[in-house]
Amino acid sequence: MREFAMRAILLGLGLTVAAGPSVAAQPLPAYTAAVDSIFAEQKRTAGPGCAVGVSRDGQIELARGYGLADLESGALIGPVTIFNIGSTSKQFVTFAIQLLADEGKLRLDDDVRRYLPELPDLGGPIRISHLMHHTSGLRDYASLLSMTGWRGGDQFDEARVLALIAGQRRLNFEPGRAYLYSNTGYVLLATIVTRVSGVPWEIFAAERIFGPLGMTRSSVRGNPFEIVKGRALGYSPSGRGAWRLDQPNHAIVGSTAVMTTVEDLARWTGNYWNPVVGNRRLIERMRERAVLASGDTVSYASGITVDRYRGVDVLHHGGAGGYRAQLLQFPGDRVGIAVLCNGGNANPDRLARLVADRVVTGLGPVPELRTAEPVAAEEAAALIGTYRDPSNDALIRVTQTTNGLTMQGGAGGAIRSLGAERLLMGDSEVRVERGSRGEPVALVVGDGGTRYLRQAPAATEPRQLSRYVGAYRSGELDRTWWVELRGSELWLVQRSLAPIQLEPVFEHGYRAAGTTVRFVMSRAGRATAVLASNGRANLVEFPRVSE
């Protein structure tokens, strides 16, 4: 370990160069003014901003910075300013896995317990490829932590995350049966790289990827308190034009923690077109999308999403936190577009696509908005209510606002009528299923046909609410929740945290700070357990503690 630490220090010294003017001095392309106009807001404000890099065949065509990297010192963002790219980091760890597979040191269909024997047997093998494609069914560690009382500012490390994962006794779904984004899989992938290669993931990335590609300002930073010269600090809005620091403070790698620049990302995308590290076959495997047990293909490949934009192929992945990131790759033009921002309210995906509109050739017309009519008043009144997916307690809540019928959950947004029992909710088409009296009983959302059943309203009278009062404990999380009745309101109490009022949503179902809390009832009408779900960790059981 002493040797690893010394090598990490030496590599770190070479990888953390202070921001300054780009060494790639060259004539500016004709689209420079158009790109500058896209980032005009970031340029003119004395706040966080963004860097943008446009490359072709791995060669930088344009690299610009707008706004401040550090609000205290007034340091400006430039082409070599270093950003934490959040989940955009995921493609690097899958690339490492592919390298090890090419070397015969692992197979993508290996059971992960071969390398991580501390994980529980959850009824069937979880393959390395399941982790890469978010089809493992493993609950997301951040979602699980939130159920233990963790809040965004609390510190945690890899040991705590691995212990939390090892304590799980259920999956969100059977491996390979569905797709659900889970950071857990990528923490485990980084651990597998470390155990198979014999060197920490941070060193592997530096020696096997960043170094050979000339990504001299890139590194994996698992220590949130380490000094990184030349980096932008992350911020979030705190109201009335003010900002507060919003820096990652956890020691987690694999799912996040790559620090890099727009210029270094150009070298990374260039490896896709002309491989220096890896080979053409490996690059093609990176783009292979996940195929579910049903035969359906999802858009997620190995740490990247394979998609279409205005009629052309695009590979992309974003990242979030106090930072925001987006990396687009257009194989047809061999163009890469990186937008890295240090303001938590930035939208780098929109910015990157606006840049693409001015840079990428062969784009088709901007898709026209689908024509849809307002929902008739009588139909709107009938649709209002709560709908639930029984497999994971995901909710759609249809409400009437001054702007018309809207939905919360799913794609979100305004609801419009397409006629013939079809609705448009945000970007998703929805089919209405009706009962024997013509009343809406279910909403079937999207091409995959996720079915949300209409729910009866939640109890609100104290006599009914008293059925839920008691203590509930999850062995998987090693946490106890207390449900208390205070007047006519239910409250969720956790140790060392402020109580949370439970908002009534559907029969036996309530909401608490983004988590759906559903009480499991006995035939005698008494709650026997709580099932908690918050999107990426679902149906976590808290059985009632015996009184």
Give the pLDDT of residue 15: 34
Mean of the pLDDT values across residues 139-155?
82
Mean pLDDT of 121-145: 95
Instruction: For residue 442, give the nearest of 405, 533, 450, 511 by alpha carbon.
Output: 450
Residue at token pair 């760890």: 93
Report the alpha-carbon distance of residue 335 to residue 172 in Å, rounded. 37
pLDDT on residue 167: 93
For position 404, what pLDDT does the model report?
84
154 has pLDDT over 70: no
Cα separation, 34 vs 167, in Å, equals 52
Average pLDDT over residues 501-511: 96
pLDDT at 380 over 50: yes
16, pLDDT greater than 60:
no
Residue 50 has pLDDT above 50, yes or no: yes
The pLDDT value recorded for residue 419 is 85
CB within 8 Å of 207: residues ≥ 6 apart: 11, 199
Q: How confident is the model at residue 371 (pLDDT cuts 50, 70, 90)?
A: confident
| 145-159, 228-242, 300-314, 521-535: least confidently modelled range | 145-159
Question: Which pLDDT does position 23 carry in this prediction?
Answer: 42
Among 71-85, 280-294, 372-386, 460-474, the range scoring the smallest mean pLDDT is: 372-386
Q: In percent, how much of the chain has pLDDT > 90?
A: 76
Indicate the average pLDDT of the chain: 91
DSSP 457: P
- What gap in Å lies between CA 372 and CA 349, rounded to an integer? 26
- Structure confidence at residue 150 (pLDDT): 74
* Residue range 361-386: mean pLDDT, rounded: 88
| Range from 218-232, 258-272, 362-376, 464-478 carrying the lowest mean pLDDT | 362-376
Across residues 453-460, what is the average pLDDT?
95
Q: Is the pLDDT of residue 131 over 70?
A: yes
* Global pTM value: 0.91
**pLDDT tier for residue 49 given thresholds of 50, 70 and 90:** very high
496: left (phi > 0), else alpha (psi -120 to 50), else beta? Answer: left
Question: Max CA-CA distance within the chain?
Answer: 78
463-492: average pLDDT: 96
Give percent of the chain with pLDDT exceeding 70.
Answer: 93
Alpha-carbon distance of 77 to 47, in angstroms, equals 11
Are 182 and 164 in contact by the 8 Å Cβ rule? The answer is no
In the prediction, which pLDDT does 156 show?
A: 73
**Span 292-305, average pLDDT:** 96
Range 16-42 average pLDDT: 74
Candidates 280, 289, 277; CA nearest to 315 is 289
User: Residue 18's pLDDT band (boundaries 50, 70, 90)?
Assistant: very low
Q: Of 278-282, 353-357, 361-365, 412-416, where does mean pLDDT reach its minimum?
A: 412-416
The pLDDT tens digits of the residues spanning 244-289 come to 999 888 878 999 999 999 999 999 999 999 999 999 999 999 999 9
CA atoms within 13 A on the CB side of 403: 6
Average pLDDT over residues 110-138: 95
Inform me whether the pLDDT recorded for 181 exceeds 60.
yes
- Provide mean pLDDT across the span 507-514: 93
Q: pLDDT category, 149, cuts 50, 70, 90? A: confident
Lowest mean pLDDT among 33-42, 148-157, 171-180, 492-501: 148-157
What pLDDT is attached to residue 411? 60
22: pLDDT strictly greater than 60: no
pLDDT value at residue 110: 98
Residue 451: which residues within 8 A CB-CB, separation 6 or more? 389, 433, 442, 443, 444, 445
Are 168 and 120 in contact by the 8 Å Cβ rule? The answer is: yes
73-98: average pLDDT: 97
Among 6-15, 105-114, 270-279, 312-321, the range scoring the smallest mean pLDDT is 6-15
pLDDT, average across residues 170-181: 96
